C-alpha cells in the first residue's frame, strides 16, 4: 500500500466522521442560538422591568410635587413621622400605578429603547 493513500474502505469512515462533525457543529449552533434567544428574552424582561421602575419613579415625583401644592392649614399637625408615612405611601402608590401600565410611559420608553437596540444590530 502506497504511503499517503487511504484504503478504499476508510472513505466511508472519513465521510461518517465529517458527518458527525457537521452534526456536532450544527448542534452547537442550535444551542448557541437557543442561548442567545434566552438571553434576548431575559434582556427584554429586564428592560421591561427597568422601564416600569422608571415609570414608578416618574409617578412618585409627580405625587410628591402634588403634595407640595397642598397648603398646610394647621388643622392636622405634620410631624416627621407623618411626612415619612406620606412618602412611603406615595412610593407604594407609584409602584402600583406603574404596574398597571395605564400611563403608558414604560411602554413608550420600552419601545424607544427596543428601537435603539435594534438599530445597533
pLDDT tens digit string along 22-52? 666 666 665 565 556 667 888 888 989 999 9
Per-residue pLDDT at 14: 44
**pLDDT above 80: residue 4:** no
pLDDT in tens, 51-99: 999 999 999 999 999 988 888 777 777 788 888 999 999 999 999 999 8
**pLDDT above 50: residue 6:** no
The CB density around residue 98, as the number of other CB atoms within 10 Å, is 22
The CA-to-CA distance between both ends of the chain, in Å, stands at 55
Task: Show me where the domains of the chain are located.
Answer: 49-68+78-120
- Cell numbers linked to 49: 422591568
Per-residue pLDDT at 56: 92
| CA dist., res. 63 & res. 96, Å (int) | 13
Amino acid at each position: 500500500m502506497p504511503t499517503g493513500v487511504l484504503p478504499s474502505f476508510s472513505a466511508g469512515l472519513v465521510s461518517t466522521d465529517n458527518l458527525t462533525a457537521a452534526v456536532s457543529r450544527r448542534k452547537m449552533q442550535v444551542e448557541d442560538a437557543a442561548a442567545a434567544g434566552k438571553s434576548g428574552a431575559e434582556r427584554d424582561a429586564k428592560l421591561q422591568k427597568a422601564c416600569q421602575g422608571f415609570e414608578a419613579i416618574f409617578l412618585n415625583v409627580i405625587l410628591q410635587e402634588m403634595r407640595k401644592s397642598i397648603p398646610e392649614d394647621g388643622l392636622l399637625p405634620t410631624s416627621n413621622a407623618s411626612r415619612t408615612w406620606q412618602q412611603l405611601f406615595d412610593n407604594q402608590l407609584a409602584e402600583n400605578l406603574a404596574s398597571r401600565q395605564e400611563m403608558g410611559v414604560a411602554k413608550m420608553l420600552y419601545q424607544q429603547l427596543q428601537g435603539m437596540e435594534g438599530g445597533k444590530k
